[in-house]
Amino acid sequence: MARITPFKAIRPTADKVSLVTSRSYDDYGAAELAAYLEFNPFSFLHVLNPAYVNQQKLGWEKRFKMVEHKYQDFKKEGILVQEDKAVFYIYEIHSKNHTFTGILAGTSIADYQANVIKKHEDTLQYRVDLFKDYLHQTGFNTEPVLMTYQDNPEINEWVTRKKLEVPLYEFSTTNKEKHTLWKIDAETEINWLQEQFREIGNLYIADGHHRSASAELLYEQDKGSGNETLNHFMSFLIADSNVKIYEFNRIIRDLNGNSKEEFIKKIAENFVIKSKKQELWKPKHKFEFGMYFDGEFYALRLKEEKFTFGNTLEQLDAQILYNTVLNPILGLGDLRTDERIEYIPGTRSITSIKDMVDNGEFEVGFMLYPINISEIKAIADLDLIMPPKSTYIEPKFRSGLVVYEL
C-alpha cells in the first residue's frame, strides 16, 4: 500500500516560469552556465550557484547557507510564490521523440523504510551525507525522486481528462521541449488519487536513490523537531510504460597490463567476436555487446551455453560484462569509485566513445543493450542491487519548477 500526500509547493510566477526553470545544475558546461548566470537574472541557477566572491574556497556549510539566502531572495522578490493549500500536480514533458506524463506528490519516508518503495541501486554514503546536509541547511529540495508504478487504466484515463483542462503553466525551453503543469487541488480528486495509489501497492525508484536516502537520513536526524514535512519527500510518479530507459556505456583507461592479443584472446573465452571495422555498431539484443578498441568496432555475442544464471541480476548485461571482462580481465573493482572507468549515457552518440579512445585518453569502450523496466522491478523485488550506472532514465525534471520546502 503506497501512501502519497499533497504538499504546499513553492513555484515560479506564471510570467517567469520559462526564465526561472533550468536543467539539472550538473547538466551545464562551464561556458553555458556562465552565460545563463550573466544574462538571465531569474534563472534558478542563481539559487543553486549564488554569485558570492570566493564561494569555491568556502566550506560546504557556508556554501549551502548561501544557497538558502539566495532562495529566500527569490521569494522576497516575488519570483517564487507558495501555494495556498496542499496540492498534487500533473506534469508533462514533450520532447522531439517522447512525451512523459506523471504526478508530483509527496511520498512517505515510512514507506521507504518499510520497502513499500523499492530500490535497485546502492548509494555512496558520503553523497548521502552531503545531500542530507544540503537539505538541512537550505531547507528545500527541487529535484523529485523519479518513481514508477504499475500501469493503472483508471489513473491513465483520469490524467488524460485532466490534461484537457487549462494548465497552470505551458512553456517551451531552449532545448526544444514543451512543459505543461496542471494543479490538482479539489479535495475529492486528491482523496481519489490517494486511494488509487493505496491499491497499487509498491512504488519503484527509477532515478534518485541518493536523494531518497538523504531524505530518510534527514528525517532520522530531525524527526524530533515537530516538522512534519520531513515525513515525506517529493517524487515524480510515472507509469511503468512511460519511462524511457537508456544504457550507460563504459570506457576504460587501460588494459590492466594485457597486450592487444592477450586481451582479445581472453574475451574470446566467453564471447563470439566479430569485427565491424569502422561501422558505428551498437548492440540490438540482450547478451550482445559493442566494443571499440584499437581503431575498430567489434560485436561481442555471449556464449550463453557456458552460463547458468540463477536470478535476474546475474542475467543483466551490465553484470555479465563486469563478471566476464571488467573484473577478471581489466582488474576493475568497485565500479562506483574506480577512477579507471567512466560512463557515457546512451543518449550520446557512440562517436563520443570512439573519439575518447582515439585521442588516447581511454583504451577501450563497451556499448551495452538497455535494461527494461521489468528487469529493474524484478531485481528490486528480490532486494538485489544492480551494478552502478546500469541505467540512464528519462524524464529529467527541471530545477526550480516545483520546490518542496522542509
217 and 286 share one domain: no
214 and 273 share one domain: no
The pLDDT value recorded for residue 309 is 93
Residue at 272 is within a domain = yes
Q: Give the residue with greater pLDDT, 102 vs 36.
A: 102
End-to-end CA distance of the chain: 25
Averaged pLDDT for residues 118-136: 95
pLDDT-based confidence at residue 53 (cuts at 50, 70, 90): very low
Q: Is the pLDDT of residue 58 over 80?
A: no
Q: Report the C-alpha gap between 395 and 274 in whole angstroms.
A: 35
Q: Is the pLDDT of residue 145 over 80?
A: yes
181 and 326 share one domain: no
CATH of the domain at 348: 3.30.1760
Contacts of 154 (CB under 8 A, 6+ apart): 196
229 and 262 share one domain: no
Q: Is the Cβ–Cβ distance between 164 and 90 less than 8 Å?
A: no
Averaged pLDDT for residues 172-196: 97
The pLDDT value recorded for residue 25 is 85
Residue in 372, 83, 134, 105 with CA at minimum distance from that of residue 244 = 372
pLDDT-based confidence at residue 55 (cuts at 50, 70, 90): low
170 and 318 share one domain: no
Averaged pLDDT for residues 175-184: 96
303 and 227 share one domain: no
Averaged pLDDT for residues 84-103: 96
201 DSSP assignment: -
Residue at 217 is within a domain = yes
Residue at 90 is within a domain = yes
Q: Is the pLDDT of residue 60 over 90?
A: no
Q: Using only C-alpha atoms, what is the Rg of the chain?
A: 23
Q: Is the Cβ–Cβ distance between 109 and 231 less than 8 Å?
A: yes
pLDDT-based confidence at residue 224 (cuts at 50, 70, 90): confident
The pLDDT value recorded for residue 56 is 58
215 and 332 share one domain: no
pLDDT in tens, 317-342: 999 999 999 999 999 999 989 999 99
| Listed range (14-28, 55-69, 140-154, 370-384) with the worst mean pLDDT | 55-69
329 and 235 share one domain: no
Q: Is the pLDDT of residue 27 over 90?
A: no
For residue 139, the SS3 value is coil
For 81, 138, 276, 322, the CA distances from 12, given in Å and listed in that order, are: 6, 18, 51, 45
Residue at 151 is within a domain = yes
Residue at 375 is within a domain = no
pTM of the model: 0.94
Q: Which three cell numbers stand for residue 299?
A: 560485436
Q: What percent of the chain has pLDDT over 70?
A: 98
The whole domain housing 229 covers 4-245+394-405
- Give the count of domains, the chain: 2
194 and 99 share one domain: yes
189 and 327 share one domain: no
Residue at 159 is within a domain = yes
Q: Give the residue with greater pLDDT, 11 vs 54.
A: 11
Averaged pLDDT for residues 90-107: 96
Q: Report the C-alpha gap between 225 and 133 in whole angstroms.
A: 16
Averaged pLDDT for residues 183-211: 97
Averaged pLDDT for residues 66-86: 97
